[in-house]
Amino acid sequence: MIWKWFRRRKSDSAAQLKEERLQQLERMLGHHFTIPGILTRASTHPSYLDQSDSRGESYERLEFLGDSVLNLAVSEWLFNLHPDAQEGVLSQQRAHIISRRFLANASEELGLPDCIQTGDDQNLLAGGGRQKIAADALEAVIGALYIDGGFEVARSFIERHILSLDVGHEEGFHTAKNRLQETIHELGRGQLTYRTTRATSAPDKSREDINFRCQVWLEGEPLGTGWGRTKKEAEKEAALDALDRLDKVRTASSRR
C-alpha cells in the first residue's frame, strides 16, 4: 500500500513540474495555446520518448512545418524591407537569418533550450548538440504557433524574437566573409586565407549532410572553422565562427 502511495506522489510531482514548465514556456512565447498537447509536442525532443511507452510525439513534425513558415516570414520581411535588392542578395541574407547558428542564438536569448524535455544521454549536449536542439526547438515552436494561432501569430513571434536580432546588428546585406574582412581591416591585421577540404562529418554527429570543412587563417594562425554541404556554406560558417571568436576577444579585452 505504501509503495502505491509513493508512486502516486511521485507521479503527481512530475505532472506538476511538467505543468509549471509549460506555463513558463507559454509566458516566454507570449501566446496562450488552445490546442491540447501541442505545446508539449513542440517542447519534446525525440530522445525523451521511449518506444515502449506512449508519452506522445516529439517536436520533429512541428519542426518540419515551422521551417517552412519561418522561410516564408523571413522572405516576405526581406522582400518588403529592401525593395531594390536582387534575388541573390536577398537569398544571402535569408540564409544568414535561418542558419542553425543564428536560430540557436535566438533560441538561447529566449531561454527555450532549458524548457525542452530530453532524454538522460549527456552526449546530446556535446559538441554542437545543444545548438542543434536550440535551433530545431525554435522551428518546432514556430510550427506550433502557426497551427494554434495562424500565420500572423507566428510571423509576429518571428519578428520579435528572430528578425529583431538581425535588425539590431545593422548588417545590411553584407555576407559573413565581407563582415569578417571589414573587421580584420579595422584591426589593422593582414590578409585572410580560406582553406577548404573534403569532409564527411562535423562535430555535431547528427549532421549527415556535410561535404566540406573550411578553416579561415589569419597571419599563419587558424581563426575560425566551419562545415557545410557546399564550399560556400562551409566558408560562411568558418567566417561566422571567426567573427564569434573576435567578438569574445574584444569583450574580454574591454573588461580588463
| pLDDT at residue 54, rounded to an integer | 52
Domains and CATH numbers, the chain: 13-168 (1.10.1520.10), 176-254 (3.30.160.20)
- Of 63, 67, 136, 241, catalytic: 67
Compute mean pLDDT per 10 residues along the chain, 256 residues long, and list them: 47 61 83 92 87 68 96 94 82 84 88 84 69 93 97 94 65 65 81 87 66 89 86 85 82 64
Question: Is this model's pTM higher than 0.85 or not?
Answer: no
| pLDDT at residue 11, rounded to an integer | 46
DSSP-assigned letters across all residues of the chain:
-HHHHHHHHHHHHHHHHHHHHHHHHHHHHT----STTHHHHHTB-GGG--TTS-----SHHHHHHHHHHHHHHHHHHHHHH-TT--HHHHHHHHHHHTSHHHHHHHHHHHTGGGG-B--S-GGGGSTTHHHHHHHHHHHHHHHHHHHHH-HHHHHHHHIIIIIHHHHHTT-TT--HHHHHHHHHHHTT---EEEEEEE-S--SSTT-----EEEEEEETTEEEEEEEESSHHHHHHHHHHHHHHHHHHHHHHHHT-
Q: Note if 121 is an active site residue.
A: no
- Of 63, 136, 139, 237, catalytic: 139
| pLDDT at residue 10, rounded to an integer | 42
| pLDDT at residue 173, rounded to an integer | 42
Q: Note if 247 is an active site residue.
A: no
